[in-house]
């Protein structure tokens, strides 16, 4: 035990004096975590696509577009009440400079054009129904809404806007068309009734009831009523078309693989903090492998082998020290998620779920996996340069596969399959289960087992290398 | 001088993997307890291989190595508590101070607390390193490193000390200090096995020497005997050159 303490003290002193390593282990991942979290948060919150909407405020089309886009969480609309061409041109500059990502221009006569076309189509539907289809397909007489895009806009954002506008237009068109249709229907029915009554006027509807003294009087009264009816409008009241967008159907968004069908949306912190914690932990390969190689190259290990201390004690000392470093890294990153990001960058604080024991165990298992990797590289590499190059390359690859820089679900199936070999992924998946889904040990047990097995395998391979060398 | 044998080597052979020639070709000699014993030879003679085997750090092919009654082949770890090794290269942690290095190696010997502090202080004092004790090894001069390297191998007061070129690259003052220290240790009863290229050192320090070349012992005896037995030689250096030849070695 005392010898183990001696090894631990030595390892701490060696690491404590390796300032570049400490910067690498703490500052670099912290900076990455903050920069990437803040950037992703900005992309999520404010990018929202920024739009300019230019036209007259009295335009019904403009009102519908503004209301429809504002309701969506994806767009931020800047309304300009103007039809002046010079303002439209200067607004284009905002698109060119990237201040806004798109500009929607409502022509001053758009509502009128739309209304006129609707009237024509309604008229055609009763008078010349055979040509209605051709007229519907014709592009003549359409009100044209121009949308000017920033060339740098992402396709997904562009098509989101176009599809949103199409949805809004469908509603606007339907509303205008229905109003015209039912107004025309009222007039049409009115006219048809009058025609029917006039045709009645022309018919002889006299009734001759034998021995009825007031026959003539009765017939005159009926004729007078018919005459009166033929001059009056029936004012047919057509009830208002009871329609509003999404009043019959609704979309219910849910997340897959959730037995309780709860809506769970992970925050940026819940994704980024575990990701960069694992990234940081695995970077201990640099100082750990470095210390093993230095010991070997500088001859200190040669001396150690002549001393009455087992290799197991030396190894255990290194494991303890680097475990402490990994746990410190973990706590440091958690602190960034809990305090730095909300306080200085106005982001939601990290939510960690309630299974704290499972969180600590996951941190320990992830640390062990990282330490095992460091021991493995240190044992097999023959020089510092080799260890640095190979170690850092492998960490970057394992991080990319593990989902540190972008989510695993975005990867193609073939790469997703390969990503399951990354111990970084096992760690991240475990933390996400704990933080986002508030799952317990049962859910993460397999990943913890994989992390521990990776540690055992790495240490075994390190020992093989040691015995081969010595 | 105590005539008990502390090291017995019988017909020791060793061939490295991938090598055409044996590094040791049936070496046999003994070292007596309390002796100051010199192991001399040109480069690639097999000196370091021999010391490494005796310390239990390298397996050998055939033969027997007994150190203080322990068969090194069967129980190499048993000899660690009573040997001290001062390797040829500086085998210290560059990012630790001299004191921290000594403290660490002392702890690995199972020495702790006040006793360890006293031993460290003694070691620093005997090689005049007190004023440098807080310096990182990486910042020390060659002479200071050599002295620190020396005492790091002796922190446990070993019975049997192996010194592999301990004065390599060291100035005259430091060398003199090291010799005085080694003589003190020898007088206290420690057995010293000393390898060196400096024949004058061996002649002054060692009571008995063996000269090894290409894995074979070509001469053994006291320096006086070797000089006497090699006509035309006035010192051990001339004996060495006569026996090993003047050709350059790898």
* Mean pLDDT over the full length of chain B: 88
Band (A140; pLDDT cuts 50, 70, 90): confident
Query: ipTM, 2 decimals?
Result: 0.85
Q: Is B94 on the interface with A (CB under 8 A)?
A: yes
Rounded to the nearest angstrom, the minimum Cα separation between A150 and chain B is: 57
Tens of pLDDT, residue by residue over B75-119, are: 888 888 889 999 888 999 999 999 999 999 999 999 999 999 999
Residue A395's nearest CA partner among A313, A242, A288 is A288
Q: Is the pLDDT of residue A145 over 60?
A: yes
Euclidean distance between CA atoms B228 and A378, whole angstroms: 53
Residue A395 pLDDT: 94
Q: Is the pLDDT of residue A318 over 90?
A: yes
What are the C-alpha distances in Å from A100 to residues A72, A80, A205, A232, A239?
A: 17, 13, 74, 58, 43
Which residue in A has a C-alpha nearest to residue B51's C-alpha? A306
Give the up-direction half-sphere exposure of residue B152: CA atoms within 13 A in the CB hemisphere. 35
CB contact under 8 A, A307 and B80: yes
- Residues in chain A within 8 Å Cβ distance of B83: 306
Q: Is B54 on the interface with A (CB under 8 A)?
A: no
Q: Residue length, chain A? A: 470
Q: Is the pLDDT of residue A205 over 70?
A: no
Band (A220; pLDDT cuts 50, 70, 90): confident
Numbered ranges of CATH 3.40.190 in chain A = 48-231
- Residues in chain B within 8 Å Cβ distance of A17: 95-96, 136
Residue B2 pLDDT: 47
Which of A10, A295, A303 comes nearest B85 by C-beta?
A: A303
Secondary structure of chain A in the HEC alphabet? CHHHHHHHHHHHHHHHCCHHHHHHHHHHHHHHHHHHHHHHHHHHHHCCEEEEEEECCCCHHHHHHHHHHHHCCCEEEEEEECCCHHHHHHHHHHHHCCCCCEEEECCCCHHHHHHHHHHHHHHHHHHCHHHHHHHHHCCCCCCCCEEEECCCCCHHHHHHHHHHHHHHHHHHHHHHHHHHHHHHHHHHHHHHHHHHHHHHHHCCCCCCCCCCCCHHHHHHHHHHHHHHHHHCCCCCCCCCCCCCCCCCCCCCCCCCCCCCCCCCCCCHHHHHHHHHHHHHHHCCHHHHHHHHHHHHHHCHHHHHCCCCCCHHHHHHHHHHHHHHHHHHHHHHHHHHHHHHHHHHHCCCCCCCCCCHHHHHHHHHHHHHHHHHHHHHHHHHCCCHHHHHHHHHHHHHHHHHHHCCCCCHHHCCHHHHHHHCCCHHHHHHHHHHHHHCCCCCHHHHHHHHHHHHHHHHHHHHHHHHHHHHHC
What are the C-alpha distances in Å from A114 to residues A19, A143, A412?
A: 71, 6, 45
Q: Is B18 on the interface with A (CB under 8 A)?
A: no
In sequence order, the 6+-apart residues with CB closer than 8 A to the CB of B177 are B127, B128, B147
Which residue in B has a C-alpha nearest to residue A1's C-alpha? B110
pLDDT (average), residues B154-178: 85
CB contact under 8 A, A3 and B80: no
Rounded to the nearest angstrom, the minimum Cα separation between B60 and chain A is: 12
Residue B1 pLDDT: 42
* Mean pLDDT over the full length of chain A: 85
Which of A14, A303, A305 comes nearest B95 by C-beta?
A: A14
Euclidean distance between CA atoms B117 and A277, whole angstroms: 41
Tokens of A86: 């010079």
CB contact under 8 A, A2 and B107: yes
Which of B57, B96, B109 comes nearest A308 by C-beta?
A: B109
Band (B249; pLDDT cuts 50, 70, 90): low
Q: Is B17 on the interface with A (CB under 8 A)?
A: no
CB contact under 8 A, B108 and A9: no
Band (A8; pLDDT cuts 50, 70, 90): very high
Residue A94 pLDDT: 83
Which residue in B has a C-alpha nearest to residue A10's C-alpha? B104
Please indicate whether residue A326 or residue A206 has the higher confidence score (pLDDT). Answer: A326
Q: Is the pLDDT of residue B247 over 60?
A: yes
Residue A449 pLDDT: 96
Tokens of B51: 């010391």
Tens of pLDDT, residue by residue over A258-278, are: 555 555 567 888 889 999 999
- What does chain B look like in DSSP terms, one character per residue? ----EEEEEEEEEE--TT-SS-SEEEEEEEEETT-EEEEE--TTSSHHHHHHHHTTSS--SEEEEEETTEETTT-GGGGGGTEEEE-SS--S-TTSBHHHHHHHHHHHTT--HHHHHHHHHHHHHHTT-GGGTTSBGGGS-HHHHHHHHHHHTTTT--SEEEEESTTTT--HHHHHHHHHHHHHHHHTT-EEEEEES-HHHHHHH-SEEEEEETTEEEEEE-HHHHHHHSTT--SHHHHHHHHH-S----
Residue A445 pLDDT: 94
Q: Is B91 on the interface with A (CB under 8 A)?
A: yes
- Residues in chain B within 8 Å Cβ distance of A300: 91-93
pLDDT (average), residues A452-467: 93
Band (A372; pLDDT cuts 50, 70, 90): very high
CB contact under 8 A, A300 and B92: yes
Q: Is the pLDDT of residue A255 over 70?
A: no
Q: Where do the domains of chain B lie?
A: 85-157
Residue A219 pLDDT: 78
Which residue in A has a C-alpha nearest to residue B83's C-alpha? A306
Q: Is the pLDDT of residue A388 over 80?
A: yes
Residue A448's nearest CA partner among A342, A332, A367, A382 is A367
Rounded to the nearest angstrom, the minimum Cα separation between A309 and chain B is: 6
CB contact under 8 A, B91 and A14: no
Residue A253 pLDDT: 62
Interface test with A, best of B51, B57, B93 (most A CBs within 10 A): B93
Residue A236 pLDDT: 67
In sequence order, the 6+-apart residues with CB closer than 8 A to the CB of A102 are A49, A51, A52, A95, A147, A148, A149, A150, A153, A158, A161
CB contact under 8 A, B104 and A6: yes
For A48-231, the fitting CATH number among 3.10.20, 3.40.190, 3.90.1070, 3.20.14 is 3.40.190
Which residue in A has a C-alpha nearest to residue B93's C-alpha? A300
Which residue in A has a C-alpha nearest to residue B81's C-alpha? A308
Which residue in B has a C-alpha nearest to residue A19's C-alpha? B95
CB contact under 8 A, A308 and B110: yes
Rounded to the nearest angstrom, the minimum Cα separation between A370 and chain B is: 24
Q: Is the pLDDT of residue B139 over 70?
A: yes
- Residues in chain B within 8 Å Cβ distance of A304: 108
Q: Is the pTM of this model over 0.80?
A: no
Please indicate whether residue A158 or residue B173 has the higher confidence score (pLDDT). Answer: A158
Rounded to the nearest angstrom, the minimum Cα separation between B200 and chain A is: 28
């Amino acid at each position: 035990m005392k010898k183990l303490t001696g090894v631990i003290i030595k390892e701490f002193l060696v690491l404590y004096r390796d300032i570049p390593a400490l910067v690498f282990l703490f500052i670099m991942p912290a900076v990455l975590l903050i920069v990437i979290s803040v950037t992703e948060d900005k992309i999520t919150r404010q990018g929202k696509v920024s739009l300019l909407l230019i036209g007259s405020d009295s335009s019904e089309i403009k009102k519908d577009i503004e209301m429809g886009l504002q309701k969506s969480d994806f767009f931020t609309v800047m309304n300009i009440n103007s039809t002046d061409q010079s303002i439209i041109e200067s607004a284009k500059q905002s698109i060119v400079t990237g201040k806004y990502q798109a500009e929607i221009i409502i022509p001053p006569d758009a509502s009128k054009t739309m209304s006129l076309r609707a009237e024509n189509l309604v008229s055609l539907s009763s008078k010349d129904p055979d040509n209605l289809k051709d007229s519907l397909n014709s592009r003549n007489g359409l009100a044209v809404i121009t949308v000017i895009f920033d060339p740098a806009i992402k396709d997904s954002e562009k098509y989101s806007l176009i599809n949103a506008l199409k949805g809004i237009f469908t509603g606007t068109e339907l509303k205008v068309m229905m109003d015209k249709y039912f107004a025309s229907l009222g007039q049409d029915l009115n006219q048809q009734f009058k025609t029917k009554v006039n045709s009645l006027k022309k018919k002889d509807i006299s009734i001759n009831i034998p021995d009825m003294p007031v026959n003539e009087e009765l017939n005159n009264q009926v004729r007078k009523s018919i005459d009166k009816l033929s001059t009056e409008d029936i004012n047919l009241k057509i009830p208002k078309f009871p329609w509003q967008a999404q009043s019959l159907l609704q979309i219910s968004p849910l997340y897959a693989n959730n037995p309780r069908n709860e809506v769970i949306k992970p925050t940026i912190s819940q994704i980024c903090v575990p990701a960069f914690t694992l990234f940081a932990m695995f970077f201990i390969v640099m100082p750990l492998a470095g210390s093993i190689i230095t010991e070997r190259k500088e001859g200190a290990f040669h001396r150690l082998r002549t001393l009455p201390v087992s290799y197991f004690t030396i190894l255990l000392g290194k494991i303890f020290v680097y475990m402490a470093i990994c746990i410190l890294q973990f706590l440091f990153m958690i602190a960034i998620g809990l305090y730095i990001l909300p306080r200085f960058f106005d982001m939601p604080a990290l939510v960690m779920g309630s299974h704290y024991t499972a969180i600590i165990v996951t941190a320990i298992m992830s640390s062990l996996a990282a330490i095992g990797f460091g021991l493995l590289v240190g044992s097999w590499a023959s020089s510092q340069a080799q260890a640095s190059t190979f170690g850092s390359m492998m960490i970057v690859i394992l991080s990319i596969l593990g989902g540190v820089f972008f989510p695993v679900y975005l990867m193609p199936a073939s790469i997703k399959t390969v990503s399951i070999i990354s111990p970084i992924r096992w760690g991240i998946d475990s933390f996400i289960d704990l933080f986002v889904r508030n799952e317990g040990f049962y859910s993460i047990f397999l990943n913890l087992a994989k992390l521990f097995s990776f540690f055992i395998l790495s240490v075994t391979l390190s020992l093989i290398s040691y015995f081969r060398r010595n | 001088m105590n005539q008990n044998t502390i090291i017995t080597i019988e017909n020791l052979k060793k061939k490295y993997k991938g090598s055409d020639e044996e590094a040791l070709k049936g070496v046999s000699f003994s070292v007596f307890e309390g002796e100051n014993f010199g192991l001399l030879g040109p480069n690639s003679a097999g000196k370091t291989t021999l010391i490494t085997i005796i310390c239990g750090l390298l397996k050998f092919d055939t033969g027997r190595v007994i150190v203080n009654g322990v068969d090194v082949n069967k129980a190499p770890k048993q000899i660690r508590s009573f040997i001290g090794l001062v390797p040829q290269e500086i085998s210290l942690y560059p990012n630790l101070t001299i004191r921290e290095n000594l403290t660490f190696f002392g702890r690995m010997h199972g020495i702790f607390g006040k006793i360890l502090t006293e031993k460290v202080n003694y070691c620093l004092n005997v090689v005049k390193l007190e004023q440098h004790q807080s310096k990182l090894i990486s910042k020390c001069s060659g002479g200071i490193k050599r002295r620190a390297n020396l005492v790091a191998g002796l922190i446990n007061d070993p019975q049997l000390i192996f010194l592999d070129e301990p004065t390599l690259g060291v100035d005259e003052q430091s060398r003199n200090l090291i010799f005085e220290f080694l003589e003190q240790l020898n007088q206290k009863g420690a057995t010293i096995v000393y390898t060196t290229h400096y024949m004058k050192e061996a002649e002054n320090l060692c009571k008995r020497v063996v000269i090894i070349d290409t894995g074979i012992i070509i001469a053994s005896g006291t320096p006086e005997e070797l000089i006497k037995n090699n006509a035309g030689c006035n010192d051990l250096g001339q004996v060495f050159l006569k026996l090993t030849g003047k050709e350059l070695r790898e």
